[in-house]
Amino acid sequence: MTTILHNLQGIVTPADTVGWELNIQAGVALALEDGRIRAIDTPEKLQEMFADARRIDGAGCWALPGFVDPHTHPVFFKTREGEFSLRVMGKSYEEIAAAGGGIRNSVRVFRQASFDELSELTYQRIRRFLEYGTTTIEAKSGYGLSLEDELKSLRILKKVAELLPITIVPTFLGAHEVPDEYQRDREKYVDLIINEMIPRVAEEKLAEFCDVFCEKDVFTVAQSERILLAAKDHGLQPKLHADELFYTGGAELAAKVGAISADHLLKISAEGIRSMADAGVVPVLLPGTTFFLGKSGYAPARQMIDAGMPVAIATDFNPGSSMTQNMQLMLTLSALYLKMTSAEVITAATRNAARAIAREDRVGTLETGKDADIVLLDIPGHEYLPYHYGVNHVRKVIRHGRVVFERQA
């Protein structure tokens, strides 16, 4: 059965597999079939080709590829607004973490919560990504930090993916922090990740990627390398939280181990940019985190773009350093603080984001053969999208050819 998406202003999509040009076609409609885009043409032509097609009303919107959010941490128990208030009063994220708050605080409470309780919370949180036009997310474990609790986290993602019309790409992040019980023997925790967690996660096919928080006072470059090489041996592709708060050489490590992406990168070196560009590692920038932590030095996106890198952006949704599911807000922050154009931020949030999670053959552009994952935005043109900020421009979200979310104008 074919469906025609008609009554659109037109479509806006990254044009090709590389470059930053948008392909803007006014007045076209889309034919959707078997969850894929079957054709893009004039409404008259599509009506002729598919005479008995069902129809979806485009409500006079512009159609864009559903946003792809390639870095999120949605599986946690309690929120941390108390820490937010402390930060507002002047305490830093690092001070709060050093005092036993931060990620370790989340880990303590996570372990007390049941699978069902956590599933329900995760479900509600992930639903909100859809409401803001995101049809694919990457989602990390990382608040369990024991074998059973990390497996629990990834199984929750699997369950929620079966319940919600959103694509969830799971990442194992057992190396998010060193839990309380290993603080005095950190290498032993690295051994546990390598010898027990990674083999089980791989065996149960619970994740596609393995990430590490490579950061001063968290995991060293040497520990990160050991973990990521073990992950690779088990078929999990490396990712890294790199050079965020301090320069450690995480970007260079990402290139060395052939990571698919390295994320954050506020403190990346010139050498880090060169080596990532050469190795084809996707930089995933998280301006919401810099903003929410009240920091000033945003990642050097322009240098990365000049080096030919396919910069992607993400929310980093998590209870500590970026509590938002809103990719539209990330477009505004990227425009203002990463100095990216409207065309660039749209490409970074769709096609390049898909590349950061190995989904570029399925999503991230509007092209024949791609998944029919489409967001309809009530805007006069694409330049308006990052400009009118802090609101939700979504009218409808289509996933695999079906309307899965709708908002009144």
Binding footprint of ligand NIG on the chain (CB under 6 A): 73, 102-103, 106, 213, 241, 289, 316, 318-321
Residue number of the CB closest to Fe ion reads 316
Residue number of the CB closest to ligand NIG reads 320
- The option from ligand NIG, Fe ion, none interacting with 319 (CB < 5 to 8 A, set by class) reads ligand NIG
Query: CB under 8 Å to 233, separation ≥6 — which residues?
Result: none
Task: Tell me: does residue 177 bind Fe ion (CB under 5 A).
Answer: no
In Å, how far are 48, 130, 393 from 347, measured between CA atoms?
Answer: 32, 19, 17
Least distance from ligand NIG to the Cβ atom of residue 142, Å:
7
Instruction: Kindly tell me which of 285 and 385 has the beta carbon lying closer to Fe ion.
Output: 285
Least distance from Fe ion to the Cβ atom of residue 33, Å:
37
- The option from ligand NIG, Fe ion, none interacting with 281 (CB < 5 to 8 A, set by class) reads none
Least distance from ligand NIG to the Cβ atom of residue 2, Å:
42
Instruction: Kindly tell me which of 3 and 106 has the beta carbon lying closer to Fe ion.
Output: 106
- CA 316-318-319 angle, to 5 degrees, is 150
Burial class (CB in 10 A: 0-12, 13-18, 19+), 330: buried
Task: Determine contact, residues 93/321, Cβ cutoff 8 Å.
Answer: yes
Return the amino acid letter for 388: H
Return the amino acid letter for 394: V
Instruction: Kindly tell me which of 106 and 350 has the beta carbon lying closer to ligand NIG.
Output: 106
Give me the residue label for tokens 């930090």: 145
Least distance from ligand NIG to the Cβ atom of residue 30, Å:
35
- The option from Fe ion, ligand NIG, none interacting with 350 (CB < 5 to 8 A, set by class) reads none
Least distance from ligand NIG to the Cβ atom of residue 85, Å:
15
- The option from Fe ion, ligand NIG, none interacting with 321 (CB < 5 to 8 A, set by class) reads ligand NIG
- Which DSSP state fits 179? -
Instruction: Kindly tell me which of 316 and 373 has the beta carbon lying closer to ligand NIG.
Output: 316
- Among 106-114, 130-138, 308-316, 346-354, which window interacts with Fe ion (CB under 5 A)? 308-316
Instruction: Kindly tell me which of 57 and 94 has the beta carbon lying closer to ligand NIG.
Output: 94
- The option from Fe ion, ligand NIG, none interacting with 342 (CB < 5 to 8 A, set by class) reads none
How many angstroms separate the CA atoms of 390 and 343, rounded?
19
Burial class (CB in 10 A: 0-12, 13-18, 19+), 232: middle
Query: CB under 8 Å to 205, separation ≥6 — which residues?
Result: none
Give me the residue label for tokens 């999509």: 13
Least distance from Fe ion to the Cβ atom of residue 318, Å:
6
Give me the residues paired with residue 318 across strands.
322
Task: Tell me: does residue 243 bind Fe ion (CB under 5 A).
Answer: no
Query: CB under 8 Å to 105, separation ≥6 — which residues?
Result: 80, 83
Instruction: Kindly tell me which of 103 and 230 has the beta carbon lying closer to ligand NIG.
Output: 103
The edge-to-edge listing of strands for the beta sheet with 22-26 is: 22-26, 10-14, 62-65, 374-377, 394-399, 402-406
Q: Count how many residues are written for the chain.
A: 409
Instruction: Kindly tell me which of 287 and 320 has the beta carbon lying closer to ligand NIG.
Output: 320
How many angstroms separate the CA atoms of 250 and 25, rounded?
41
Least distance from Fe ion to the Cβ atom of residue 73, Å:
6
**Coil/strand/helix, residue 223:** helix
Task: Tell me: does residue 316 bind Fe ion (CB under 5 A).
Answer: yes
Instruction: Kindly tell me which of 76 and 405 has the beta carbon lying closer to ligand NIG.
Output: 76
Phi-psi region of 332 (alpha: psi -120 to 50; beta: other; left: phi over 0): alpha
Instruction: Kindly tell me which of 284 and 398 has the beta carbon lying closer to ligand NIG.
Output: 284
Radius of gyration of the chain (CA): 21
Least distance from Fe ion to the Cβ atom of residue 294, Å:
17
Least distance from ligand NIG to the Cβ atom of residue 245, Å:
8
Instruction: Kindly tell me which of 284 and 366 has the beta carbon lying closer to ligand NIG.
Output: 284
Task: Determine contact, residues 77/112, Cβ cutoff 8 Å.
Answer: yes
- The option from ligand NIG, Fe ion, none interacting with 351 (CB < 5 to 8 A, set by class) reads none
Least distance from ligand NIG to the Cβ atom of residue 175, Å:
10
* Tokens matching residue 344: 């660039």
Per DSSP bridges, beta strands 312-313 and 282-285 are parallel
